[in-house]
Chains A and B, each alone.
Chain A
């Protein structure tokens, strides 16, 4: 595979960004042109990605020095390159990013129609794709970090896209800052790795980490620290506990953005990073931590999703929850399964977000599902595609989510039964809240406000076609690639990437015990039961307007986590900075000392000035006194 291909793949969205960003002024009013340029740019990348995929399937992997483009930061004892690493894992990510990305661009052409910031929107979106590609293409941690921060920036820009809305800009800022907290960990993780390996290149680090020499010199502790710090980065980026708080708020952005960034691609960067660093996590045995954080987040977020009434927020918490699953997968050593779930999730969650966007489009931006109901008739395509997505996530047999989730749960059992149990409960909750959403929104009596009701309609083709296209892989990709569990086509394709990690980890994780079939059956039953409960409870009835019990209230308010963070971190820091540091320490003490010195000198001067009487004879007297004393000293003493 040639480096040039990857360069084209990478640069294409950047070019799109530059055209829309720099010359947007001239494109203004011409939606077709700017939308077309943005979409085309991603299409080019998608085609390149397919070529790259074919190449990797043929065994052509781009790594090591061959992938180096140029020396970025270099000096005595350190060299960091801009370079590419393209293997099976990368191409999977590339296909997801550019494929789903392309569809979402197409969808956006319709969705953003008439928006004042149309050009700006496509510029940002292209920039995001570029940054995400940098993230997955990099052949070293530093370049991954570049993309890592880049997607964070685009996320910030796109969440706050409608910048006149205070809540949107607040959410954008929150996302960026919380992500920065994660990035802080990532940064320190990189430093730890560099201190140990003298390089940040994947091939160099993984090669050296495996070698016995390294183990002898550094033991495991360096790696434990490094992998945990990197994981902090992943927790921030992939919205895991305790840094998940930004993702639900991020729904302030345009819905296609939520689909692309906050469901399909950016938030999965953490999973990609851990899959990429599989060797390190295996050597450090820190996968357990990852898995536990993942499963607890999955459960926690699912409980919150149960009580929300805002469609996008339910989907957001569901994303947090599903990301937790992925972390369980990569945490328990089932890297391929984690990545597989990443891919299926990108399809079905992207699909559901876009469908939710379609609903919003029809409902004049209404998001509260209590004000919907019975939309099935008016929006059949949206309904069916949404349903497919929901079935997939709920683990309905033979749809994509069923396969990927089941693989993860199966592997989790081998690692720790408790993880499996919690994961299974979460699967039940997932099915329940998803179908609560479906039933309340699309079935039952219409509760749509009369003013809106007449306008409710199916979205234009430019929007529903991407839905249909996404529905297809959501439904069947599991069957195609996931059949056969750990022996499936997907596992086969990514085998080479995780081979080294598997070899190291064989001792750590017991090979998934027994046949997968019982697990599949249990999962399927749990999912179906969840759907059934939802049907019983919500297919006919309207959800309660107000939370009933105290527990319900606690959960509905998201456990007051935002309020706690605000009270514990945000406000104290603000107040301490303002009152203590600025007013007291800076102005009062430090500047007070500086000005105090000046004042003291002025007082001394003021006192001494009285000696200056202006009477010449007083001066002469003092002069003569001085002369007398001086002479006396000179003559009689010295």
Chain B
């Protein structure tokens, strides 16, 4: 086993354990912390794949911004025990969830294993060099300029949406 493989298994295991923890912990705070672990592990995987920019973004946007948002909200609501942990999941629903999950995972793995059969991936030559931030930037501002700009609109819309949603309703004049 070369170091790359070792690192993959370490990060991969970390991500999976984190993910399972997210759905297993009762308290949302723990779930959130577990999620951060997963995000960091994924960032490591991105580095392994040579996607340094994405890895950095992952840490900054997900582990940084988004998770802080989650934590804020959890604390803001300061839920009571029942609300905090949610009503105990019915055994039936849990059973259904796990059975469906297994089926789903099986299909996903099947797709993954057969990913190379008769697809573009099969014939492609793996590129050893890492993708540079420069390369991503070039694409974003040339070929994907319009989607890029539209993204800003989405963010704007989200911004306005949030303000409207959480705004305190003014008492009506009459």
Task: List the interface of chain A (C-beta within 8 A of B).
Answer: 617, 621, 624-625, 627-628, 631-632, 635
B134 located at the interface, meaning its Cβ lies under 8 Å from any Cβ of chain A in the complex: no
B141 interface residue per 8 A CB criterion: no
A624 CB contacts on chain B under 8 angstroms: 100, 104
B110 A628 Cβ-Cβ under 8 A: no
Are A628 and B93 neighbours in the complex by a CB distance under 8 Å? no
- In the complex, are the beta carbons of A632 and B107 less than 8 A apart? yes
A635 to B117, CA, bound (A): 12
Q: Does B96 contact A (CB under 8 A)?
A: yes
Contact of A635 among B93, B97, B100, B107 (CB under 8 A): B107
The distance in angstroms between the C-alpha atoms of A632 and B100, with both chains bound, is 12
CB nearest to B111 among chain A residues: A635
In the bound assembly, the distance between CA atoms of A631 and B111 in angstroms comes to: 10
A631 (CB) vs chain B CBs: closest residue: B107
Q: Which residues of the partner chain B approach A628 to less than 8 Å between Cβ atoms?
A: 100, 103-104, 107
**A628 nearest in chain B by CB position:** B103
The number of A-B residue pairs with CB atoms under 8 Å apart is: 21
Within the complex, the shortest CB–CB distance from A623 to chain B, in Å, comes to 10
The CA-CA distance from A632 to B96 in the complex, in Å, is 17
Task: Report Cα–Cα, A477/B27, bound state, in Å.
Answer: 126
- Within B90-107, the residues touching A (CB, 8 Å) are 93, 96-97, 100, 103-104, 107
Minimum CB–CB distance for A614 against chain B, Å: 16
Q: How far is the CA of A617 from the CA of B97 in the complex (A)?
A: 10
- Binary interface profile of B, 72-106, with partner A (CB < 8 Å = 1, else 0)? 00000000000000000000010011001001100
A628 to B110, CA, bound (A): 13
What residues on B are CB-neighbors of A635 within 8 Å? 107, 110-111
Please give the distance in Å from A630's CB to the nearest CB on chain B.
10
B110 to A, closest residue via Cβ: A635
Would you mind naming 14 contact pairs between A and B with Cβ atoms under 8 Å apart?
A: A621-B93, A621-B96, A621-B100, A624-B104, A628-B100, A628-B103, A628-B104, A628-B107, A631-B104, A631-B107, A631-B111, A632-B103, A632-B107, A635-B111
B interface, size bucket: under 10
CA distance A175 to B110 in the complex (A): 91
Among residues of B, the one whose C-beta sits closest to the C-beta of A630 is B107
A223 to chain B, nearest CB (A): 86
A542 to chain B, nearest CB (A): 95
Kindly list chain A residues whose C-beta atoms are within 8 Å of the C-beta of B103.
628, 632
Q: How far, in Å, is A626 (CB) from chain B's closest CB?
A: 11
Interface of A is mostly: helix
Q: How many whole Å from A634's CB to the nearest CB in chain B?
A: 9
Specify which chain A residues have a CB less than 8 angstroms from the CB of B107 in the assembled complex: 628, 631-632, 635
A-B pairs, top 9 by smallest CB distance, nearest first, are A631-B107, A628-B103, A624-B100, A628-B104, A635-B110, A621-B96, A628-B100, A635-B107, A632-B107
CB distance from B153 to the nearest CB of A (A): 28
CB distance from B38 to the nearest CB of A (A): 21
Tell me which residues across on chain B come within 8 A of A617, comparing CB atoms. Answer: 93
What's the Cα separation between A621 and B89 when bound, in Å?
14
Interface-centre pick from A621, A631, A635 (highest chain B CB count, 10 A): A631
A628 to chain B, nearest CB (A): 5
Q: Which residue of A lies closest to B114 (CB)?
A: A635
Name 19 extra pairs, CB < 8 A, besides A624-B104, A628-B104. Answer: A617-B93, A621-B93, A621-B96, A621-B97, A621-B100, A624-B100, A625-B100, A627-B104, A628-B100, A628-B103, A628-B107, A631-B104, A631-B107, A631-B111, A632-B103, A632-B107, A635-B107, A635-B110, A635-B111
Which residues from A are CB-within-8-Å of B111?
631, 635
* B contact residues around A631 at 8 Å (CB): 104, 107, 111
Separation of A372 and B27 alpha carbons in the complex (Å): 118
Residues on the A chain within 8 Å of B93, using CB: 617, 621
> Chain A residues with Cβ under 8 A from B96's Cβ?
621
How far does the alpha carbon of A635 sit from the alpha carbon of B111 in the complex, in Å?
8
Closest to A618 in B: B93
Instruction: Report the separation of the CA atoms of residues A635 and B110 in the bound assembly, to the nearest whole angstrom.
Output: 9
Assembly CA distance A627 to B110 (angstroms): 15
| A631 vs B110: C-alpha distance when bound (angstroms) | 10
CB distance from B102 to the nearest CB of A (A): 10
**Closest chain A CB from B111 CB (angstroms):** 7
Complex formed: what's the CA distance from A532 to B75 in Å?
129
User: Contacts of B104 on A, CB cut-off 8 Å?
Assistant: 624, 627-628, 631
Task: State how many angstroms separate the Cβ of A606 from the closest Cβ of chain B.
Answer: 27
Cα A617 to Cα B107 in complex, Å, equals 22
Complex Cα spacing A632 to B110, Å: 10
A617, A625, A627, A628, most chain B CB atoms within 10 A: A628
For residue A616, give the distance in angstroms from its CB to the closest CB of chain B.
Answer: 12
Look across to chain B and name the residue whose beta carbon is closest to the beta carbon of A617.
B93
Min CB distance A420 to B, Å, is 104
Which residue in chain A gives the minimum CB-CB distance to B101? A624
- Assembled-state Cα–Cα distance A530/B110 (Å): 120
| Cβ < 8 Å to A, chain B residues 28-76 | none
Q: From residue B96, how far is it (CB to closest CB) to chain A in Å?
A: 6
Please, which residue of chain B has its CB at the minimum distance from the CB of A627? B104
Contacts of B110 in A (CB 8 A): 635
Chain B residues, CB < 8 A from A625: 100
Specify which chain A residues have a CB less than 8 angstroms from the CB of B100 in the assembled complex. 621, 624-625, 628
* A632, B111: Cα distance in complex, Å: 11
CA distance A632 to B97 in the complex (A): 17
| Distance of B154 from chain A, by nearest CB (Å) | 23
CA distance A625 to B97 in the complex (A): 10
A631-B112 Cα distance, complex, nearest whole Å: 13
Complex Cα–Cα for A625 and B104 (A): 9
Determine the residue in chain A with the shortest Cβ distance to B97.
A621
Give Cα A112–Cα B107 distance, bound, in whole angstroms: 104
Q: How far is the CA of A525 from the CA of B93 in the complex (A)?
A: 118
Measured between alpha carbons, how far is A625 from B96 in the docked complex, in Å? Answer: 10
Q: Measured between alpha carbons, how far is A625 from B101 in the docked complex, in Å?
A: 10
Nearest A residue to B96, CB-CB: A621
- A632 neighbours in B (Cβ, 8 Å): 103, 107
B134 CB → nearest A CB, Å: 38
